[in-house]
Amino acid sequence: MYFYFITFTSLIDRVINIIHQKRYTMKTTYDVRYASSPNDVKTYDTEKLRNEFLIDSLMKPDAIHFVYTHYDRYMAGSAVPTTTSLKLETVDALKSEFFLERRELGIINVGDQGTVTVDGTDYVLDHKEALYVGQGNKDVVFKSTSKDKPAKFYLNSAPAHKAFPTKKIGADDVEVIELGAPETANARTLRKYIVNSVVDVCQLQMGMTTLKPGSSWNTMPAHVHDRRMEVYFYFEIPEDQAVCHFMGQPQETRHIWMANNQAVISPPWSIHSGSGTSSYTFIWGMSGENLDYGDMDHCKINELR
């Protein structure tokens, strides 16, 4: 009788697991990018530069995809659930039981309404709302409210040394800073979403910058910060337009032409600035030595080469 009970119980557990599996699809993939010396980058042609720093594999329907960069072990990716929910899995590069075992995660929804479920708690994110997910959370599932108008979750992750609470950051929670001027074509609104003055974090920082009508330059004057690396994600770029992203050392700059929903890795030794042929928005994410947003070494415009 005991044997039959154990067998029946195991069968029930298997059925429950199968039912649970059908509620979401596990499709987490990743690529790896290694760090490059600035002396080596001086010799890169256009194709090599794009292969090393451009991320053009984001926002694929019904998939979670990351690029794992060896600059501060940062990960940039996306999750776009349409016909099914998507569960965040660990990847081999992390050598961890679950994705957030030693990491924290930042999420900004650049699509329509969706829900992120973190260890059984639902967080509804509207367009341009964010969620911080702390270290130690095991189950993270992404779902769109409408399959015809899916959520598009942009994801950034960095190593974490401490577990902080999960927190939603809505439109009224962000810190807003007005920067630039129309005269220099860089008037813009910067919104800080995931920074230590808004939410407790280990090292991850994320925010969004929107150019004002008539302006095209972001992050100009340019700067570097050897204490932190950064990733820029460009979106809301019309199909027939582009953004020219400038990178490299201040006296040895390079450029990459960016299309909609593409990101670019910015090493600590590199400037990160861009100018678009039309209006656009970008999300900046960074991690590294400190959480001081103002820690940057400015570059004089007339000294850029």
Mean pLDDT of 98-123: 98
Q: Does residue 114 fall inside a structural domain?
A: yes
* Chain Cα centroid distance, residue 180: 24
**Residue with token string 């399959």:** 147
Give the containing element (helix H, strand E) for 14: helix 2-21
Which 3 state secondary structure label does DSSP give 193? Answer: strand
**Secondary structure percentages of the chain, helix, strand, coil, to 5:** 15, 40, 45
Domain-located, residue 13: no
Which pLDDT does position 19 carry in this prediction?
A: 40
Give the sign of the dihedral formed by CA 91, CA 95, CA 101, CA 104.
Answer: negative
Q: How many domains does the chain have?
A: 1
Residues 42-81 as b or e (16 or more Cβ within 10 Å = b): eebeeeebbebbbbebbbeebbbbbbbbebbbbbbbbbbb
Tokens of 217: 């330059």
Contact 61, 51 (CB under 8 A): no
| Interatomic CA distance for residues 30 and 160, integer angstroms | 20
Instruction: Give the tens place of pLDDT for each residue, 209-220.
Output: 999 999 999 999
Instruction: Look at residue 45 and tell me if it is in a domain.
Output: yes
**CATH of residue 110:** 2.60.120.10
Task: Give the whole-angstrom CA distance, residue 240 versus residue 89.
Answer: 35
Assess contact for 192 and 204: CB atoms under 8 A: no
Neighbours of 168 (CB within 10 A): 15
Residue 163 domain-assigned (yes or no): yes
What is the extent of the structural domain holding 162?
A: 25-303
With respect to residue 15, please indicate whether it lies within any of the assigned structural domains: no
Coil, strand or helix at 293: coil
Q: Over 60: is that where the pLDDT of 269 sits?
A: yes
Rounded mean pLDDT of 242-262?
98
Greater confidence (294 vs 16) lies with 294
In a domain? residue 243:
yes
Per-residue pLDDT tens for 16-34?
Answer: 444 444 456 677 999 999 9
Please report the pLDDT score of residue 213 as a whole number.
Answer: 93
CA distances from 280 to 12, 20, 189, 242, 276 (A): 52, 40, 12, 9, 7
Contact 140, 133 (CB under 8 A): yes
In a domain, 279, yes or no: yes
Which residues, in sequence order, are CB contacts of 1 under 8 Å at separation 6+?
none
The reported pLDDT for the residue numbered 293 is 84
9: in domain: no
